[in-house]
C-alpha cells in the first residue's frame, strides 16, 4: 500500500461520516474476491468468461469484495468490486443501478456515493484481454449508463456527479500529462460546454465539501478553487440517454504470434509481463507506448516531446 495515498487528515468519506452524512462505496479501496460457483471450475475466470456470464445472466461466477480500509466496512457494497481488469465496468454499473432502484423504492439516498470504474487503465495489448479500445468503450458505456439511471431517478433534482480519471500523469500524448478531463453532471451544470478554468483534484474535493456542508480537511482543500464556473442558476432537468458502444466490449487482443508487425508483436509480448493484477504498478512509459501504437499504428511517431525535460534557453 502506498503510504502517500493515506492523508493524515483522512479521506473525503471520513469527513462526511464525521459530520453526520451517509455514505455508500462501490469498489473504492475494495479487495476483489471471485470464484466459480461450481467447485470443479478451474482457475480464476478471465474477462470473456466474466463478460459472457454478465451478458447471459448465467450467474456462474461469484463476485464479492471486502474493504481494504476498516472504516469502509459498514458502507461498502460487497456485490461489486474495484480494481480487477478481468471484470467489465458494465457489471459494476449494473450493480450500482440495481441498488439505485432499491433506494428509489425506499425513498432514501446516500449523501455521498463513490464508484470505481477502473477499466480505462486498459491491459495494454495482452493476449486474451480486451483491446485498449474495448476497455475504454466498456468504461465509457458503464459511465453513461450510470448517468442515464441517475438522471431518470427521483433523486436527479438534487444530484451532482463529479468524475475524473485516475492517474492523468501517465497519459502523455497530445496534451500535457499534468492536465486531465473532469466531468460535472447535474441539472445545474452548463450543458454542452467546455470549461477551461484551471482547477485541480482539490477543486473537486472542495466542490463536494461545499455541496455536503462539510468543512475543509486541510490547507490544500481549504485554499482550493471550487468549480463554480461549471454551474448555472437555472436547472435543466432533461435526463441523459446513454450512447451505445461502437467498439465491441469483447474485442480481444490476439496472441503475439498472430501479430505481423514487429513493434506491435514486441508490445504484445511485453504486455503479457505487465503487473496488471496490481493498481498503478505498470511502467508508465512502456504502457503509454503500447497504448499509443495500438491506437495510432506502429508508424505513428510517439510524442517524446511530452515526456522529455526541456532545457532552459539561456540565450
Per-residue pLDDT of the chain (315 residues; tens, 9 = 90+): 556 667 777 899 999 999 999 999 999 999 999 999 998 888 899 999 999 999 999 999 999 999 999 999 999 999 999 899 999 999 999 999 999 999 999 999 999 999 999 999 999 999 999 999 999 999 999 999 999 999 999 999 999 999 998 766 656 555 666 678 899 999 999 999 999 999 988 999 999 999 999 999 999 999 999 999 999 999 999 999 999 999 999 999 999 999 999 999 999 999 999 998 887 788 888 998 999 999 999 999 988 776 665 555 554
For residue 125, give Cα distances in angstroms to 43, 192, 269, 270: 22, 33, 8, 8
Gap between the Cα atoms of 112 and 146, Å rounded: 15
What number of residues does the chain have? 315
Q: Which three cell numbers stand for residue 45?
A: 475466470
User: Greatest CA separation found in the chain?
Assistant: 72
Domain 3-255 listed as CATH 3.40.50: no
Give the pLDDT of residue 6: 72
Break the chain into its structural domains and give their ranges.
3-255
CA distance 69 to 243: 35
Task: Tell which residue, 220, 167, 218, 219, has the closest CA to residue 14.
Answer: 218
Start-to-end CA distance of the chain, whole Å, equals: 46
Please tell me the predicted confidence (pLDDT) of residue 171.
Answer: 61
Chain centroid, CA 96 distance in Å: 14
CA 234 – CA 306 distance, rounded (Å): 41
| pLDDT for the residue 311 | 54
Q: What is the pLDDT of residue 278?
A: 80
Question: Cβ neighbours of residue 179 under 8 Å, at least 6 residues apart?
Answer: 168
- Element (DSSP H or E) covering residue 164: strand 161-164
Q: Are 23 and 7 in contact (CB under 8 A)?
A: no
Taking a C-beta distance cutoff of 8 angstroms, is the pair 84, 108 a contact? no
Contact 164, 206 (CB under 8 A): no
Amino acid at each position: 500500500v502506498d503510504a502517500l495515498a493515506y492523508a493524515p487528515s483522512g479521506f473525503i468519506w471520513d469527513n462526511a461520516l464525521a459530520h453526520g452524512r451517509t455514505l455508500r462505496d462501490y469498489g473504492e479501496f475494495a479487495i476483489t474476491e471471485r470464484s466459480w460457483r461450481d467447485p470443479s471450475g478451474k482457475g480464476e475466470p478471465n474477462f470473456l468468461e466474466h463478460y459472457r456470464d454478465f451478458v447471459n445472466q448465467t450467474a456462474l461466477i461469484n463476485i464479492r469484495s471486502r474493504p481494504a480500509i476498516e472504516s469502509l466496512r459498514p458502507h461498502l457494497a460487497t456485490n461489486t468490486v474495484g480494481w480487477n481488469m478481468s471484470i467489465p465496468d458494465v457489471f459494476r454499473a449494473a450493480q450500482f443501478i440495481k441498488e439505485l432502484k432499491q433506494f428509489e423504492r425506499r425513498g432514501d439516498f446516500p449523501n455521498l456515493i463513490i464508484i470505481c470504474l477502473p477499466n480505462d487503465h486498459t491491459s495494454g495489448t495482452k493476449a486474451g484481454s480486451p483491446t485498449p479500445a474495448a476497455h475504454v468503450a466498456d468504461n465509457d458505456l458503464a459511465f453513461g449508463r450510470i448517468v442515464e439511471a441517475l438522471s431518470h431517478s427521483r433523486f436527479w433534482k438534487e444530484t451532482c456527479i463529479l468524475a475524473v480519471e485516475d492517474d492523468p500523469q501517465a497519459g502523455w500524448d497530445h496534451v500535457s500529462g499534468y492536465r486531465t478531463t473532469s466531468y460535472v453532471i447535474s441539472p445545474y451544470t452548463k450543458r454542452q460546454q467546455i470549461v477551461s478554468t484551471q482547477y485541480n483534484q482539490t477543486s473537486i474535493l472542495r466542490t463536494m465539501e461545499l455541496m455536503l456542508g462539510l468543512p475543509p480537511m486541510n490547507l490544500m482543500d481549504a485554499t482550493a478553487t471550487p468549480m463554480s464556473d461549471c454551474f448555472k442558476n437555472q436547472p435543466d432537468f432533461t435526463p441523459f440517454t446513454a450512447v451505445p458502444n461502437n467498439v465491441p466490449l469483447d474485442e480481444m487482443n490476439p496472441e503475439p504470434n498472430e501479430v505481423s508487425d514487429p513493434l506491435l508483436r514486441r508490445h504484445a509480448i511485453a504486455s503479457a509481463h505487465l503487473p496488471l493484477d496490481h493498481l498503478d504498478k505498470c511502467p508508465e512509459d512502456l504502457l503509454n507506448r503500447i497504448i499509443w501504437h495500438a491506437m495510432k499504428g506502429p508508424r505513428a511517431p510517439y510524442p517524446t516531446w511530452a515526456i522529455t525535460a526541456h532545457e532552459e534557453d539561456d540565450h
